[in-house]
Amino acid sequence: MALRKILTQGDSALEKVCRPVEKFDKKLHWLLDDMKETLTASGGVGLAAPQVGILRRVAIVVDDQEQMIELVNPAIIHQEGEQDGMEGCLSVPGMYGKVCRPNFVTVRAQDRNGNTFEVSGEEMVARCFCHEIEHLDGHLFVEHTDRLYTLEELEAMEEF
């Protein structure tokens, strides 16, 4: 396994629509293993393949049990409610913005061997599913907010 470099906003790989995964082979498994290692090292809660320069529909989301869920060709098939909250992205380091997301989502995806499964999440996990799946269509959270905050501003707001 190896750490992969996380691309940041401005890199054209983050603006592309990713292709579906068709081969559930060793190369996919290496990508997933590398993404998990990279995510752990970064301290984030989700990572999408285009963030490491791979234009395929692959993402990792950390759930509320601290488990990493591997999502291949994921799609949101159900959503409910709304939540407003601060969101950040490993590709937009040090910046946060308020983004409205569904409060509950169900995702249908394939695992590393091509088996289809469904997984649901609420609050932070639902937010993360939406955020990561959006990356696969070339979108960043900053498109949903008109004001970005630094970590210092965020901390000042929370103290207030």
In the complex, minimum distance from the CB of residue 128 to Zn ion, in angstroms, rounded to a whole number: 9
Q: Classify the C-alpha dihedral 12-14-17-20 as positive or negative.
A: positive
Nearer to Zn ion, 89 or 109 (CB): 89
The two three-digit tokens of residue 160, written as one number: 């207030």
Query: Is residue 130 close enough to count as binding Zn ion by CB under 5 A?
Result: no
Beta bridge partners of 101: 83
In the complex, minimum distance from the CB of residue 89 to Zn ion, in angstroms, rounded to a whole number: 3
Half-sphere exposure of 62 (CA within 13 A, CB side): 13
Any residues with CB less than 8 A from the CB of 1 and at least 6 apart, and which?
Answer: 30, 33, 34, 37
Nearer to Zn ion, 52 or 89 (CB): 89
Please tell me which residue in 132, 143, 152, 158 is annotated as part of the active site: 132
Instruction: Respond yes or no: is residue 132 known to be catalytic.
Output: yes
68-80/104-110 β-pairing: antiparallel
In the complex, minimum distance from the CB of residue 18 to Zn ion, in angstroms, rounded to a whole number: 13
Segment 39 to 98, residues that bind Zn ion, using CB under 5 A: 89
CA 129 – CA 141 distance, rounded (Å)? 12
Nearer to Zn ion, 104 or 141 (CB): 141
Residue of closest CB approach to Zn ion: 89
Instruction: Compose the 15-34 pattern: x for residues touching Zn ion by CB under 5 A, - for all others.
Output: --------------------
Single-letter code of the amino acid located at 74: P
Single-letter code of the amino acid located at 141: F
In the complex, minimum distance from the CB of residue 103 to Zn ion, in angstroms, rounded to a whole number: 19
Please give the residue ranges that form the binding site for Zn ion (CB under 5 A).
89
Q: Which residues are catalytic?
A: 132
